[in-house]
Amino acid sequence: MNTDKMLLVTDKPAKLMRKYSLPCIISLLVGALYNIVDQIFIANASYLGSYGNAANTVVFPLTVIALALAVCVGDGCCASVSTLLGGGRSDKAGRFIGNAIIITVIISAVITAAYLIFAEGLVTVFGARVNHETYKLSREYFFWISLGMPFYIFGQAMNPVIRADGSPKFAMATTLTGAIINMILDPVFIFLFKWGMAGAAVATVIGQIVTAVLAFWYLFHLKSVKLDKGSFTLKTEIIRKTISLGLCSFLSQISLVAAMAAINNMIRKYGALDPVFGIEQYAQIPMAVVGIVMKFFQIVISIVVGMAAGCIPVVGFNIGAQRKDRVKDLFTLLLICEAAVGAVALLIAECFPKALINIFGAANESVYYTEFALKAFRIYLCMMILACVNKATFIFLQAMGKAVPSTVLSMLREIVFGVGFALLLPRFFGLDGVLYSMPVSDFLTAVISAVIIRITYKELTVTDRIKNDGKICK
């Protein structure tokens, strides 16, 4: 076992969290910035405005579907590899990585073909037909984004694999480089060349290509694992294990897509009944606004998920090394940090919503846009602290190999509550009901999470590693 890996069972949890979580946070933030940066530049282009914003919101869930498939493979492989390395099984870890690479390539080909063939129906499902201009821009943006899907999926799937190999900084660098390229090219293509939605999408795809190429290069320079021909032979047992451990990550993303589909369609349905947003020229505003609120939420959740996902190699290694006491300490630290992130995010959303919407071009929009945006930020995000703790709990359970409770909790939050309340509450509160759906879902999930957290603490309590003086051996 190499020295770097031994530090996972000797260094303090706080130090390990900083080392592994910070690069993961930055990687996820950078990944989120691809779509967010596009939306900022689109919103501030006078010839696109809220129509372009709404189109971006329509396409966003379709990129999340691809991300869900990527993280299912990547996070599942990461959890397996970390546990195997903790148990000294680097040979088997190589087979998991090889299988993950093959699965990722297959998924990339399938999703790209599906997106290009069924583009019209897919953007319609996610609310593109709110008006003609939004539909036209959605189709344009989605076409170019679809062409970049193989690179996006490969880069995102390999990122957690690189972290599991002990190179979190390189994992961060791969996404950071691609995002910087996107940020440079966006204003050039949108404002200078006037390429509109196509320009925003092409800038994104170029950045994703760079990220994928860097990840591909790293696979030939793994530190803890050696790949050979046998690593790339698909094994049912390995595929099943990878998917089962990555299922929580998949469901947390794909269920978000289901919630977005419900929300976007409820916005389209009940917006048409609104005295203001039922007018053709304002019909895209609620969808554009909710998209902006979700982008802020995505930034916060990127930090939250980054903290928790960064702990996966540490948790997996210590579970494999039979150090449950250290896993418990890390869980406590993680919950405290996640709650703090949620508190800061809540403060910003409640106190400075106008500053946030101005970033997304509110100055160019009507007063109805601003009024609805202020209300959306304050209602939709009022349970941010609970949302952050919930997400951390899902991922930590996954890192411990507890796929069933992790998956059940995620499904309850995103499908049963998230989709259910998004469909139910608008019947009583109209457009406002869409905004109430998120805080209600997070509150109910937090009640259940509290029970699971308590049970997990009991399981992690060390009772059999006692020194002669009766103290627990740390």
- What single string gives the DSSP state of each residue in 299-341? HHHHHHHHHHHHTHHHHHHHHHTT-HHHHHHHHHHHHHHHHHH
Position with higher pLDDT, 205 vs 313: 205
Ranges 124-138, 203-217, 245-259, 297-311: which has the least confidence:
245-259
C-alpha 162/C-alpha 158 separation (Å) is 6
For 96-161, strand residue ranges (E) read none
C-alpha 168/C-alpha 314 separation (Å) is 12
Whether residue 1 is predicted with pLDDT greater than 60 in this model: the reply is: no
Short-list 415, 435, 433, 414, CA closest to 424: 433
Largest CA distance in the chain: 77
Provide the pLDDT confidence category of residue 2 given band limits of 50, 70 and 90: low
| pLDDT score of 323 | 82
Whether residue 252 is predicted with pLDDT greater than 80 in this model: the reply is: no
What is the reported pTM? 0.76
Q: For the chain, percent helix, then strand, then coil, each to nearest 5?
A: 85, 0, 15
CA-derived radius of gyration, the chain = 22
| Inter-residue long-range contacts of 91-94, CB under 8 Å, 24+ positions, other chains counted | 93/224, 93/225, 94/225, 94/226, 94/227, 94/228, 94/231
Ranges 137-151, 242-256, 300-314, 374-388: which has the least confidence:
242-256
Ranges 146-155, 245-254, 335-344: which has the least confidence:
245-254
Q: Find the mean pLDDT for residues 380-393.
A: 93
C-alpha 133/C-alpha 129 separation (Å) is 9
C-alpha 63/C-alpha 462 separation (Å) is 43
Q: What are phi and psi of 274, to 5 degrees?
A: -80, 140
Query: Which residues make beta-bridge pairs with 371?
Result: none
C-alpha pair distances (Å), 65 with each of 60, 185, 201, 253, 413: 9, 25, 17, 7, 17
- The DSSP H or E segment spanning 106 is helix 90-117
pLDDT digits (tens, 9 = 90+) for 57-99: 899 889 989 999 999 999 899 888 988 887 777 878 999 999 9
Short-list 131, 140, 141, 63, CA closest to 283: 131
C-alpha 323/C-alpha 326 separation (Å) is 6
| pLDDT score of 464 | 41
Q: What are phi and psi of 472, to 5 degrees?
A: -75, 135
Q: Which amino acid is at 121?
A: G
| pLDDT score of 5 | 62
C-alpha 74/C-alpha 243 separation (Å) is 9
